[in-house]
Structure formats: structure tokens, C-alpha cells
Structure 1
Amino acid sequence: MNNRIFIFDTTLRDGEQVPGCKLNKKEKIELALELEALGVDILEAGFPISSPGDFDAVNEIAKLVKNATVCGLSRAVQKDIEVAAEALKPAARKRIHTGIGTSDYHIKAKFNSTREDILQRAIQCVKWARNFTDDVEFYAEDAGRTDNEYLARVVEAVIAAGATTVNIPDTTGYCLPHQYGEKIAYLINNVPNVDKAVLSCHCHNDLGLATANSIAGVIAGARQIECTINGLGERAGNTSLEEVVMILKQHQSTLGFHTNINARQLNPMSRKVSETMRMPVQPNKAIVGANAFSHSSGIHQDGFLKDTQTYEIIAPEEVGAESSKIVLTARSGRSALAYRFQKLGYAFTRNDIDVLYEKFLQVADTKKEVSDDDLVALATAHQPIPVEA
């Protein structure tokens, strides 16, 4: 099997569904060009029929993006598909992403329909989309809770109708990683024409398992991951692009997968999306959080200062982050204190540090973090010997 994992970015569509994250046309275009430069393979630019503004934004992105495939979302409705096709018309590479819910929850409650009717509607929407492009992706919404045997029937039918990618969404973030992986494996082993299409993971984070499920999916045979910068998305969010990319990179020797993402742009891209979409990144967020490369525990700081790999499996520069930080708190030790004093230009003996450490702890117990100004005050009172420049 091909070990290239295609990265399908839906920051501009699913990510924009977060309350307060609505983008105007100019912002969408700016982010689209940044995402293309990052190296995403497929860029889901929006849901063209949803509003005239979204249609215009998708249409303009289709004109400007040259390397990534530009994708537009639609429901299994002929008008949706026609509008998406019109918006995507200028694209050098275009994809229509259409589909319908396949779980019994959706079939009965949402559509008041039957499995057979949904199967026929799935086939029909793919055929409509194929009138406009050879690159058609079908999504089986709520596949995570869809009976595997029925899901396999749907997947086989839409591939036969012309779908070149089939999206297997865990729409509600329900699956455990082994369950999602087994679902993908079931499709690989039970859909006769599965080799004619790429299976795609689209996992939500309602239980905090989106990244784990996506990785389980590619291990089982999926070759596309649908994700967003900073994990933005409906409700608790989507699979985080930066997380899956770095997991695949860190474990390339064992998993054998690779992507075309320029990892050094991950932190700048994260900041750009955060600022543009007005959505702060939690400090402890993997890869791109403010604390991702910060060390405050004395035990951790001592090990890190002896060898960075004791507590960091990724070098900050690999993902475009600032240098690692030694943060001084009441939990910090003497080695971290000595390191920070040295960075400020002070040379102290071990005995000096022992004396200063007791005074440092008195300061640290009164505040959350000891600043450089606090250290300068301690050093000045101790009459230090400055290091010669």
C-alpha cells in the first residue's frame, strides 16, 4: 500500500463552524494561501450553497490556489452539487465533497427514511457530482455509529458510482481507537472495489479521541486524514492537523507514513489561524501551545539541561516554535536557577547558588512565576561578578 498520507484541511469549513470564528472573504483567502504554502493536499474551502458570501470566497480561492486541490462541500442534493461545481469552476484541481448520513440514528430520526432509500440517494449524489469532476469524495455521515455491514454496502456502491475518495466520519466522536481502526479494516477487507478509492478519516473530538482515532484509521488502511489547524471544529473540534502530522513524522520509522506538510510552518500557521479566527490556543495544546516546550518542574529542568531529549521528543525549531523555556517556579531546582542566572550574564559558584536558592524560594512562594527582574534583584543584592562579554 502507498504510505503517503493525504492531508485534507477543513479549517475554512468545519473550523469556521465554531461560534465566533466566522471568516470574511479576505480572511478566508489569506488563510487558504497560507494553508497551500503549508503543504496541505486538499483544501476544503467552504460550503458554497450555504450563503452568497461563502460561494464568493470558495470561487475566489478556486482562482488563486494552484497546487492544492480545492474542495467544496454539499449535501446529497442536486442543487447543492450544482452550486458547488459552479463555485469550483476556476480551480486547477477541484473536488466535490458530497454525502449523506448512514447511521440508523440519521436514517430514522433525521431523514425518516430507510437504509435502501439512503443507499440510492448516496449513489445518485455521486453520479450528479461526477457530471462536473472526476474527483468526487463521498461522506457517510455518522459512519462511526453505522452498522459495518451496511456501511460496506454503501461504500461499495458509491465507489461503483464514481467516488474516488470515501470519507468515514466519526461525526459524534463516539468511537474508541480500536473500534475506528476495526471499522476501516472491515471496509478494506469486505468492499471488493475498495482499491479504486482512498478511504478518509474525519474524526471529531467529543471524547478527546480524534487524533488517536485518525492514527488508528491510517494504520488500518485509510490514506487521507481530514483535520483542522489547532483542532478547530464543530462542538469539541476536529482532528488537529499539527498533531497527526507530527505523530506520523515522529513514528515514521515504525509506521512508515509521511505527509507533504512543512512542519516548520506549524507554529506560525497556528498563530495565524488563532489571530484571524479570534480563537486562543490552550497553553497546554500539543505541538503549538505556549507551554508545549516549557519546563517548570525541578526534576524535568535538571534532566532537560543535561540532555534535551530526556523531556523533549520534538525540537522546537522542527515545528517553528520559539526555543524551549526554563520557567522558574517554587517547584524549580538549583540547576534551573543557575542556568537562568547564567543567561542573564551572572557567574555564580555552587556556594553562591546554594545561598541564592533559599532567597529564590522565598520569592517563588509568593508568586506563580519568578521573572528576570526578580532574578536581577536577587543577584544585585548578592553582589555578583558579571561575566565578561
Structure 2
Amino acid sequence: MLTHPATKYRAFPPVNLPDRQWPSRTITAAPIWMSTDLRDGNQSLFEPMNAERKMRMFRTLCQVGFKEIEVAFPSASQTDFDFVRNLIEGGHIPDDVTIEVLTQSREHLIRRTMESLKGARRAIVHVYNATAPVFRDVVFGMSRGEVKELAVSSVRLIKELCAQAPETEWVLEYSPEVFTSTELDFALEVCNAVTAEWGATPANKVILNLPATVEVASPNVYADQIEWMHRNLARRDSVILSLHPHNDRGSGVAAAELGLMAGADRVEGCLFGNGERTGNVDVVTLALNMYTQGIAPGLDFSDINAVARTVEHCNQLPIHPRHPYVGDLVFTAFSGSHQDAIKKGFAAQQPNTLWNVPYMPIDPADLGRSYDSVIRVNSQSGKGGVAYLMEAEFGVVMPRRLQVEFSAEVQAHTDAHGGEMTAQNIWDLFDATYLNNPGAAVRYVEHHLFDHPGQTGKHVQGIRIGVEVNGQPMLLSGEGNGPIDAAVHALQGMGVKVQVRSYEERSTKASTDGGDAQACAFLELVSANGDTGKGGERFGVGMDTNIVTASIQALISGVNRLGLVRAGALETEVA
């Protein structure tokens, strides 16, 4: 039984701001965005990103449109230090992107951090120290004066070290850690001392980041705190006021939106809200909230599935299927009344008019998704019933996005033929759609693997694949870092270029004919041929007692599903 809160917790005191202005304001423009996926998000992972995943994440953030990216905590680990050096020395930083690094207010850590940035064109040095009473009294045993001096002396050292490297354009960022629990008058005192020490001017602004390091009150209180600072800061025209909301109370997005109304200029967060405890503010949700209000967010999420798959790979964390805008189920209507309203909305929606479809706050097409590809129509068994029967009767556990795709095939079949589909009917449709499609242009015959030392000394996997293209035999060969990669390269021999978005392999619980269990491979493919084929993303499925054979079959199945080779002709559709 929960202890009565009055005996254990105290309510956070309100801000004395009777003439607050933020409630009557609206957001009219996107803020400066700063991604901390590679720092705050990364340090919260059970298994932090390796160099490959960090670089993939960095490139994705650049492609999305972030101009400021916090890339590391260089003094915390050699991996982070080396990553910063690789970005700079390898020329991986676009000219319009500024990297940011974080350091605590300790001399040896600051020096190590500055060392990591040697040769950078432009860099933000983000320094912080805790200012809240519980940290002053319990963690560090420091007075207000000592905390303030620590911040000022750290900025002084950074300024000296910056002067020794004039080839870099330096920007200072300061955070009074746990700002939301710090007395406002003291937070103001420290921040003003920092901007004075740096010598902030309108041409040389300081970023003052006011973090909800731990979210301790409702978002309106955070907005009050931000507006109070916004109105009382010295040298306000020389300050970029930044927000760094966390999500301990589940209101990180709301806090950020109200904080922008209260006068902030900048937001720090992670793409899908990854971060310590319950996470940082979710930048995708925040940006797309603005988009649905007619505000250009300045970030490109027109292929949200590609961004989501990359983040899942890099973080090794799944995105919840009901996550706003991006979850696999967010454009799914199970309710018959919802489906009816949505279909009528689509029928009434005219091109180049304001979006006005019931139950759908955003057009899925704007995110690179289609409503038809994700709707689950509960005709007869529905999506849930289809997935259950496939698993219970045939031992095939389909990935969620394959459930989405195949349920559309089931619905199309029931619409065309009517009546109830039995479990065997569903299996026959699955077999004809993915495994033994009678109209498939490309058919798998056999394959042979080989490997040999590559130029770098690492073994290269090679493959020769025998196929029939519209009944004509063809031998394809390719090399790669594994069988699937080699097979993808082999397909280029007939002009077919694809990218593997996801791959899963599972054992069936029982074979369809009562024999031994088989391996089942699922590949999600997207065409890399340009505007060819059917477009979009398609799954391929393969089943065999050998998992490599099943994987090659799945790849060819996906190529057929994408329609990249015309049935009835040997010619391929090449961009």
C-alpha cells in the first residue's frame, strides 16, 4: 500500500509570476534543434553504441537535418574520445553541422575534452555543474559561493584553452544541472556570472541550457521557471536560451512546448525520447506536433520508417508499436466504426486541401507511410486472428510489420471472394504470396557459397546463385560480408538493387506437412533502383531446413514482391 504522500513527499513550490505571458502565446517557428542521441541517449543504453553504430547514428542525424549534434562525453571513455577524433580527422562533419561535447566542471576533464576537439572547424563546449540544494548539501557539500565559483572558474579555463586554438570557432554552453530543483535567484546568479566571465555579446552568444534533469513538477511550472529566467537574465540578447527536458513525469514533450512559449530558443533531445530513466524529450514527437500545426519543423521525417529502423539498430531498443507518429500500430484501426469514418474521410479528402480525416491527425504519406499498408480490417479473423492462426496452426511467428503487410493481403482476398477464411485458406494465401507465388518472375534453383581472403586480410563471403527468370536459367555471383550481403550484390547482375531494412530468422514450431521443424527467414526490402517496381517496402519469406537457403529464398521472394523484374520478359526495370 502506498504511503500517504503528505508524509513522504513535498509539492514543488509554484513560481511567483502573476503576470506570466506564456499561456496566451503559441509556437510560430521551430526552435534550434540539438540532438543528444549520441551522448545522453547513448549513456543510458545497456550496451552503449560501438563505433559503427555511432557513425551510422551520426549520419542519420545529419540527413534528418540537425545542425547541432552532441556527439560524445570525451573525458568519460576512450571510445567517446576516439569517436570525436574520427569525426574531425576523417572529415565526416558536414560544413553546416556543429558538433558538441559535454564535460563536467573539473580541470582535468575539461582539458581532456578540449584535446578531443583539436582541429574542429566549429565546436560547442558544453560544461555543467550541479546547482540544486540536494546536490550542494548531500552530494558535494558545497556552499552557494563555492558552486558559483566552480562554474565561473571552469568557464575561465575553457576560455583560456579556446584562445590557444583560434583555428576553431568556439561556442560555450553552460548548464546549471538540476535547474528545475534550483532556487531561481541562485540559478540566475550563476548564469549571469557565466555569461559575464565568457564576455557574451550578441555576436558571441552563450548557450544557457536550463535542464529538467529530473522532472519534478507539472510542465506549467517549468514554463514559469523558463519565462522568469527569460525575463530576468542579464545580457539576454547575448544568450541562446535552451531547454533540456527529461520525462520522469511523462510530460517531457508538454514541458518543451510550454518552455518554447515561455521564451526559449533551443531544444535538446533524442529522436524517439531515449535517455536516462524515462528518457529525454522526444524530438520526433515534438517536431511532428509542430508540423501538424502548420509549422515547418526544419527536420526531415519523410521516411520515418528508415529513421526508426536505424535508431532501433543503433540503440538496440525497440520502438513501442503505439509510439506517436512512428509506431507500427499508430495508423491502425481495429474498430469497425473507426475504419468506416477513416474510409469516408479519405473519400472526401481532396488534393491540396487542409487535411481533414477522422482519427488521423497527420497524413501517413507525409511520413513515407501509406494507410493501406498498415490498416488491420477486422473482417472475419482480422489481423490478430490471422497472426494467431499462423502461429498456432503452422508454427510461423510473423514479425509485426509482416503481420501488417499480410493482413492487407488477407483483407483484399476477403473483399474479392467474401465468406470466411479458414486457417488452411490463410496458409494457402501466405504460401502463394511469399513462398510459391505462381506468377513470380524470379525463381530460386540453388546456391553455392565460397570465401577467400580479401584485400584487408578479412575473409570475403562469395555466392553463386542459380535462378530462373521467367523460365530462363541464369547464374548470378556476388561477394559481401556474409551470405545475404553477397546475395544482394549477386542480384545486381540482373539489374536488381535492393536494401535490406530488417532481417529475422525463426524456427517454425512444426512443419506444414508434419515433418521436422524448418527455418523461416523474413527480410524486409526496399528498392534501391530509383522509382522502379511497386515502390515502398515489401517482405520476402523463405522456409527451408537450412537457414542460409531460407534467407536466399526470402531475398528472392522480396524481389518478386517489389516487382523489380517484369513477368513475361527477361528485361529488368532499371532506373
| TM-score category, normalised to shorter length | 0.7 to 0.9
Contact 1:181 1:216 in 2 (8 A): yes
Choose which of 300, 316, 328 in structure 1 pairs with 2:377: 328
Report the Cα distance in structure 1 between the residues aligned to 2:123 and 2:332, rounded to whole angstroms: 42
Choose which of 60, 81, 96 in structure 2 pairs with 1:55: 81
**Structure 1 residues 88, 219: closer, same or farther in 2, change over 3 A?**
same
Shift of 1:375: 11
Report the Cα distance in structure 2 between the residues aligned to 1:166 and 1:331, rounded to whole angstroms: 58
The amino acid that maps onto 2:84 is V
Report the Cα distance in structure 1 between the residues aligned to 2:174 and 2:74, rounded to whole angstroms: 16
Q: How does 1:196-211 map to 2 (within 5 A)?
A: 196-211=238-253
Choose which of 301, 324, 346 in structure 2 pairs with 1:263: 301
Partner of 2:99: 70
Report the Cα distance in structure 2 between the residues aligned to 1:146 and 1:258, rounded to whole angstroms: 34
Partner of 1:158: 194
Partner of 2:71: 45
Secondary structure at the aligned position of 1:263 is classed as coil
Partner of 2:171: 135
Partner of 1:276: 314
Partner of 2:426: 373
Contact 2:38 2:54 in 1 (8 A): yes
Report the Cα distance in structure 2 between the residues aligned to 1:105 and 1:225, rounded to whole angstroms: 26
- Aligned-pair Cα RMSD in Å: 2.7
* 1:298-354 CA distance string (max 9 Å, x none): 111111111141111111222233545221348999xxxxx9777348447xxx6xx
**Structure 1 residues 297, 331: closer, same or farther in 2, change over 3 A?**
farther
* Identity across matched positions, percent: 26
**Structure 1 residues 111, 218: closer, same or farther in 2, change over 3 A?**
same
Report the Cα distance in structure 2 between the residues aligned to 1:159 and 1:331, rounded to whole angstroms: 66
Secondary structure at the aligned position of 2:39 is classed as coil
Partner of 2:180: 144
Partner of 1:314: 362
**Structure 1 residues 302, 32: closer, same or farther in 2, change over 3 A?**
same
Partner of 1:336: none
Shift of 1:101: 0.8
* 1:193-250 CA distance string (max 9 Å, x none): 1221111111111111111111111111111111112211111111111011111222
Contact 2:102 2:126 in 1 (8 A): yes
Partner of 2:212: 170
Q: How does 1:1-389 map to 2 (within 5 A)?
A: 3-62=29-88, 63-66=91-94, 67-131=96-160, 132=162, 134-162=170-198, 164-252=206-294, 258-308=296-346, 309-324=357-372, 325-329=374-378, 343-344=412-413, 346-347=415-416, 356=419, 359=420, 373=426
The unaligned stretches of length 5 or more in structure 2 are 1-26, 163-168, 201-205, 347-356, 383-407, 431-575
The amino acid that maps onto 2:361 is I
Contact 1:202 1:227 in 2 (8 A): yes
Contact 1:123 1:157 in 2 (8 A): yes
The unaligned stretches of length 5 or more in structure 1 are 334-338, 364-369, 378-389
Report the Cα distance in structure 2 between the residues aligned to 1:37 and 1:93, rounded to whole angstroms: 19
**Structure 1 residues 281, 153: closer, same or farther in 2, change over 3 A?**
same
Report the Cα distance in structure 2 between the residues aligned to 1:270 and 1:341, rounded to whole angstroms: 26
Report the Cα distance in structure 2 between the residues aligned to 1:267 and 1:195, rounded to whole angstroms: 40
Shift of 1:3: 3.8
Report the Cα distance in structure 1 between the residues aligned to 2:371 and 2:297, rounded to whole angstroms: 25
**Structure 1 residues 347, 23: closer, same or farther in 2, change over 3 A?**
closer
Contact 2:222 2:259 in 1 (8 A): yes
**Structure 1 residues 326, 375: closer, same or farther in 2, change over 3 A?**
farther
Shift of 1:161: 2.2
Secondary structure at the aligned position of 2:328 is classed as coil
Contact 1:177 1:212 in 2 (8 A): yes
Secondary structure at the aligned position of 1:180 is classed as helix
**Structure 1 residues 119, 178: closer, same or farther in 2, change over 3 A?**
same
Shift of 1:26: 2.2
Shift of 1:276: 2.1
Question: Which structure has greater strand proportion?
Answer: 2
Which moved further from structure 2: 2-11 or 75-84? 2-11
Secondary structure at the aligned position of 1:14 is classed as helix
Shift of 1:22: 0.7
Secondary structure at the aligned position of 2:75 is classed as helix
**Structure 1 residues 91, 259: closer, same or farther in 2, change over 3 A?**
farther
Secondary structure at the aligned position of 2:319 is classed as coil
**Structure 1 residues 93, 292: closer, same or farther in 2, change over 3 A?**
farther
The amino acid that maps onto 2:93 is V
**Structure 1 residues 130, 330: closer, same or farther in 2, change over 3 A?**
farther
* Structure (1 or 2) with the larger CA radius of gyration: 2
